[in-house]
C-alpha cells in the first residue's frame, strides 16, 4: 500500500508543473496520485498501513490528500475497501501538505513584478520557474539591472561604474542569470558571437595588452616621444595604425626586448596563442609580417592561426637547418589536430617532423648571434 512518505515524494515531483500552471494563469486542477499497491495476505500489516494512511489524510488532519476507495474481494479476507486513488482537491491542500505555501507566495509575488516590468520574460519564467524561486532574495536588484540595460543597451562602461543602485559586485556574482535575462530583454543589441559577458553586452573590461617595441629610433621619437617599449590594450592597438612597414612577431619576451634596430619596423611579443588577439588589427593588412615561434608543433599551429588572418605572413628561424644545428633535447606538447593548416609545403614538412617525435627547440636555445644573422628585412 502506498505510504504517506511516498505520497509526499510524488506530490513534490508535480510541483514544477504546478508552478508552470501558475505562470500560465490556469485554474488549479486536482493532483491525482494512484494508490496502486494492493493488500498482501498479511491482514494485520494491511490494517496498520491503512491506519497510517488515513492518519495523515485530510479526513484526520483537515488538509492534505483525500482517499478514494474501491471494494475488492480478496482470496483470504473476503471483501475489503482498499485505497485506489489519492488526490489533492484544492490548492491549499496540496501546498500545505508539501510545505510550499510560503515558497509559492514568494513565487507569485516575484512573478507578478517580473512580468509587470518585462512581459517579454513570460517564456523564460515558464521554462525556469525554479530560477525565479531560487533567487527570491535578489529579484529587486536583478530588475534594477534589467531596467538599466533596457534603457541603455550599449553602456560602454566597466561593470563597476554602471550607475545602478546595487552593490558593485552584484552583477559579477550573478553573471549567468543576468545574461539569461538580458539575452531576452535586449536581444537586438547583444553581440551573439562574443561569449565574454562584457563584450556580449557592450561593456568595457580589463583587456589583454599588446606589448611591442619600436625598432626605429626616429619613429619612436616622432610617435612616442622617444619611448620604444610600449604596452597598450588591444582595442587601442587596433586603432593607432603605426606607420611601420614591417612587423615582427616573436614568442619569447627576451627576444622581443633584445631585437635589433630595424628601419620602419616594430616587434611584438606574441606570447603563445595570444596572437589570436591580433586577428582584427586591420592596419596589419598593408604590412610585411614576419613570425618567429618555437620549433615545435604548437609553434607551427600558432603560425597557421596567424596566417589565417594575414595571408602574407612569413616565418623565420623555424627551419630544419636551425633545428639540426641547435636541438639537443626537448619535448613539446602533443597535439592531435587534423584540420588543414595554413602552412607552406616546407613548413608543413617541418610541422609533421616535429609532431612525429614531439620535438621542441625553444627560441631561447638559439644563440643570439646566429639569430641576428637570420632576421629577415622587408
CB 250 within 8 A of CB 368: no
* Of 176, 200, 224, the domain-final residue: 200
217 and 168 inside one domain: no
Tens digit of pLDDT for each residue in 185-197?
Answer: 999 999 988 889 9
The 3-state DSSP class for residue 357 equals helix
Runs of H (alpha helix) within the chain: 4-12, 15-23, 43-55, 58-61, 91-97, 101-117, 122-127, 129-134, 139-151, 170-173, 175-185, 197-200, 217-224, 234-240, 253-258, 297-309, 320-326, 345-357, 368-374
Cα distance from N-terminal residue to C-terminal residue, the chain:
88
* Of 200, 232, 258, the domain-final residue: 200
* pLDDT cut 70: percent of the chain above it: 94
pLDDT of residue 109: 97
169 and 317 inside one domain: no
* Of 81, 99, 117, the domain-final residue: 99
Lowest mean pLDDT across 14-28, 118-132, 186-200, 364-378:
364-378
Tens digit of pLDDT for each residue in 88-99?
Answer: 999 999 999 999
Q: At residue 352, does pLDDT exceed 80?
A: yes
Q: At residue 38, does pLDDT exceed 80?
A: no
pLDDT of residue 77: 59
Q: How far apart are CA 355 and CA 353, in angstroms?
A: 5
Overall domain count for the chain: 3
Full 3-state SS string of 238-275: HHHCCCCCEEEEECCHHHHHHCCCCCCEEEEECCHHHH
223 and 343 inside one domain: yes
Longest dimension (CA), the chain: 110
Of 288, 260, 313, 346, nearest to 302 by C-alpha is: 313
CATH assignment at residue 234? 3.40.1360.10
For 158, the grid coordinates are 566597466
Identify the H or E element spanning 233. strand 229-233
166 and 223 inside one domain: no
Task: Give residues with Cβ within 8 angstroms of 244, minimum separation 6.
Answer: 214, 216, 219, 264, 265, 266, 287
Instruction: State the residue range of the domain holding 346.
Output: 209-374
Average pLDDT, the chain: 91
Q: At residue 273, does pLDDT exceed 90?
A: no
pLDDT of residue 43: 72
Q: At residue 41, does pLDDT exceed 70?
A: no
63 and 108 inside one domain: no
214 and 343 inside one domain: yes
Q: At residue 35, does pLDDT exceed 80?
A: no
Q: pLDDT confidence of 108, banded at 50, 70, 90?
A: very high
The 3-state DSSP class for residue 278 equals helix
CB 65 within 8 A of CB 7: yes
95 and 108 inside one domain: no
Q: At residue 117, does pLDDT exceed 90?
A: yes
Q: How far apart are CA 145 and CA 302, in angstroms?
A: 40
108 and 93 inside one domain: no
Give the angle 58-62-68 at the CA atoms, nearest 5°.
Answer: 20
User: How does strand 295-296 pair with strand 360-361?
Assistant: antiparallel
Q: At residue 213, does pLDDT exceed 80?
A: yes
Amino acid at each position: 500500500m502506498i505510504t504517506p512518505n511516498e505520497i509526499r515524494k510524488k506530490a513534490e515531483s508535480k510541483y514544477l508543473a504546478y508552478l508552470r500552471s501558475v505562470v500560465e494563469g490556469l485554474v488549479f486542477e486536482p493532483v491525482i496520485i494512484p494508490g496502486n499497491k494492493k493488500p498482501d495476505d498479511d491482514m494485520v500489516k494491511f490494517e496498520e498501513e491503512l491506519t497510517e494512511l488515513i492518519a495523515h489524510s485530510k479526513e484526520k488532519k483537515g488538509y492534505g490528500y483525500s482517499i478514494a476507495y474501491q471494494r475488492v474481494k480478496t482470496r483470504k479476507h473476503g471483501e475489503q475497501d482498499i485505497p485506489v486513488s489519492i488526490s489533492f482537491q484544492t490548492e491549499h491542500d496540496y501546498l500545505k501538505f508539501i510545505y510550499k505555501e510560503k515558497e509559492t507566495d514568494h513565487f507569485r509575488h516575484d512573478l507578478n513584478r517580473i512580468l509587470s516590468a518585462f512581459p517579454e520574460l513570460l517564456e523564460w519564467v515558464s521554462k525556469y520557474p525554479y530560477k525565479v524561486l531560487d533567487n527570491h532574495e535578489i529579484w529587486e536588484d536583478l530588475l534594477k539591472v534589467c531596467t538599466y540595460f533596457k534603457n541603455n543597451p550599449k553602456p560602454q562602461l566597466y561593470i563597476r561604474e554602471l550607475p545602478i543602485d546595487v552593490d558593485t559586485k552584484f552583477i559579477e556574482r550573478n553573471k549567468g542569470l543576468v545574461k539569461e535575462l538580458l539575452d531576452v530583454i535586449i536581444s537586438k543589441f547583444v553581440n551573439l558571437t562574443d561569449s565574454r559577458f562584457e563584450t556580449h553586452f557592450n561593456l568595457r573590461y580589463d583587456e589583454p595588452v599588446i606589448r611591442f617595441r619600436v625598432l626605429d629610433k626616429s619613429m619612436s621619437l616622432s610617435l612616442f616621444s622617444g619611448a620604444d617599449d610600449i604596452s597598450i590594450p588591444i582595442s587601442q592597438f587596433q586603432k593607432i595604425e603605426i606607420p611601420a612597414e614591417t612587423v615582427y612577431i616573436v614568442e619569447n619576451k627576451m627576444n622581443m626586448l633584445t631585437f635589433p634596430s630595424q628601419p620602419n619596423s616594430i616587434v611584438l611579443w606574441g606570447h603563445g596563442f595570444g596572437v589570436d588577439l591580433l586577428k582584427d588589427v586591420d592596419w596589419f593588412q598593408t604590412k610585411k609580417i614576419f613570425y618567429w615561434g618555437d620549433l615545435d608543433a604548437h609553434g607551427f599551429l600558432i603560425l597557421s592561426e596567424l596566417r589565417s588572418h594575414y595571408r602574407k605572413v612569413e616565418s623565420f628561424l623555424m627551419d630544419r637547418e636551425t633545428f639540426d644545428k641547435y636541438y639537443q633535447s626537448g619535448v613539446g606538447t602533443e597535439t592531435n589536430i587534423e584540420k588543414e593548416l595554413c602552412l607552406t609545403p616546407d613548413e608543413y614538412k617541418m610541422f609533421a617532423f616535429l609532431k612525429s617525435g614531439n620535438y621542441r627547440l625553444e627560441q631561447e636555445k638559439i644563440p643570439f648571434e646566429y639569430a641576428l644573422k637570420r632576421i629577415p628585412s622587408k
